[in-house]
Structure 1
Amino acid sequence: MKSTRDTIYDTLRQRLTSGHYPADASLVPLALSEEFAVSRTPVREALALLERDGLLVPTRRGFTLRLRSDEEMLELFEIQAVLDATAAESAAWRRSPVDMVRLDAHLDHAQSLNEPAHIRRSLNDWHDAVRQAAHNGTVVALLRTLDAQVKTSAPWRTPEVADTFTAAFAEHRTITEAIRTQDAEAARVAMLAHHGHDRDRRIRQRVRVEAELTSTTASDGSADAQR
């Protein structure tokens, strides 16, 4: 059974990695303890863990989101891609029959869905299955932290229609088949290419959101100037 701290940690982590909070949000222990109807101790402990994960930075009153520069964000994408490619390469050598069934099941399920958010969730499950098939706990732990940092820096925000996943499905299928045939180099290269495409999509979304915010701010300033 999860502790109160861990439950709060999981909830806040999910919010942070899904773009729930605006960039200037302030997470104050007192306010969160009232929201979760608990004392401030488990809230403070959960926030401290999120700071350790690189998702928050402390302020005088509590914590705020850790904002990363473009260069820092690209560094995260690069490290994440290398580690995931290593996981795919290892999975090609170490996967068991059970691992292959899981990979096929997650990919088949994703292709049966229509809602973009549900498709992404199922494809994330596929990525988790690749990492588990690598049978390397250190890589899995490092990638869990990196995933959260990437999602906080560039969360999926822009709605997409389901048919934009056609290329992504093909990429996932290519990696799956390389793992099945134990072609470690092909699995590694295909995973790197997949991450490159994913990185480019997320960067476009981040830049689009920034442009929209800039435009809104400029419009508000013009309106104030005309009053």
Structure 2
Amino acid sequence: MEAYMQVDTVYRRLRELIVAGEYPPGERLTETAVGETLAVSRTPVREALRRLESDGLVHGVGRGMVVTVLTPDRLGHAYAVRAALETLTAELAADRQRTGRIAPIALSDLERDARRLEDVTAAGDLDQAIELNRRFHRGIAELACNPIALEILDRLWDQIIVSTRASLAPPERPETVASEHQDLLRAIVQGDRTLAGQIAGDHARAAKATLE
């Protein structure tokens, strides 16, 4: 049990470092170097890297692992799946709201995150904006109560952020993004599954378009 907990800790920490850009796409990761950085032996690092490989965040090259970057084609596929899943989770969240199965505090938390995201985006804090944007969309997926959709979205978000972080810039029209978030929240609060799904899907596709 202790060994498993150590592997899980190393996995989570290494995943955080990769998603945060501390290990950029294309960087080679060796068990020895990562072990020295995290002050652990090679064994938990080896197991953590295998898990990250199954997540699509690293891949084997020779005797080591390299942080994966999605090709333009695969990035397009990832965004297409993200748009479909976020359409689904927005619809499910609206359904649950309409039938009274979402606590008001959960919606208040999302509204708070949306406001904070507006503030940090306006301040030009791109790293925090990326984190808050992901938390906002993950919050909607959590309201949907579909654990499989949430798990897949988490993996997609990791892969997309790792592959696009270096090319991201503050949105040219941050008020548009903020307005879309508010419209999405409003549709969910109103229990309008059709409108919520449409806004969520269009929002994800618009995010992809900014990279083209």
Same fold (TM over 0.5): yes
Out of 172, 177, 182, the position equivalent to 1:173 is 182
Q: 1:106 & 1:22 partners in 2: Cα distance?
A: 27
Q: 1:132 & 1:120 partners in 2: Cα distance?
A: 18
**Conserved? CA contact 2:26–2:68, under 8 Å:** no
Out of 20, 29, 32, the position equivalent to 1:30 is 32
Out of 121, 124, 127, the position equivalent to 2:134 is 124
Using CA pairs below 8 Å that are at least 6 residues apart, which structure has the higher relative contact order? 2
Q: Give 1:65's aligned residue.
A: 67
**Conserved? CA contact 1:18–1:156, under 8 Å:** no
Pairwise CA RMSD of aligned residues? 2.1
Are 2:206 and 1:197 equivalent residues in the alignment? yes
- Give, in angstroms, the shift of residue 166 of structure 1: 1.2
Which ranges of structure 1 fall in alignment gaps of 5 or more residues?
205-227
Q: Kindly tell me: are residues 156 and 166 of structure 1, through their superposed partners in 2, closer, same or farther at Cα, counting changes over 3 Å?
A: farther
Out of 129, 143, 161, the position equivalent to 1:133 is 143
Q: Give 1:42's aligned residue.
A: 44
Q: Give 2:6's aligned residue.
A: 4
**Conserved? CA contact 2:25–2:162, under 8 Å:** no
Q: Which protein shows a greater Rg? A: 1
**Conserved? CA contact 2:26–2:69, under 8 Å:** no
Out of 115, 125, 129, the position equivalent to 1:108 is 115
Deviations 1:148-185 (A, max 9, x none): 12122222544437x74211100100100000001100
What's the TM-score, normalizing by structure 2? 0.86
**Conserved? CA contact 1:90–1:134, under 8 Å:** yes
Where does structure 1 differ by over 6 angstroms across 4 or more consecutive aligned residues?
none
Q: 1:18 & 1:198 partners in 2: Cα distance?
A: 19
SS of the aligned residue for 1:63 comes to strand
**Conserved? CA contact 1:19–1:157, under 8 Å:** no
**Conserved? CA contact 2:95–2:191, under 8 Å:** yes
Q: Give 1:213's aligned residue.
A: none
User: Structure 1: which amino acid aligns with 2:40?
Assistant: V
Aligned length: 202
Q: Give 1:146's aligned residue.
A: 156
- Give, in angstroms, the shift of residue 53 of structure 1: 0.3
What's the TM-score, normalizing by structure 1? 0.81
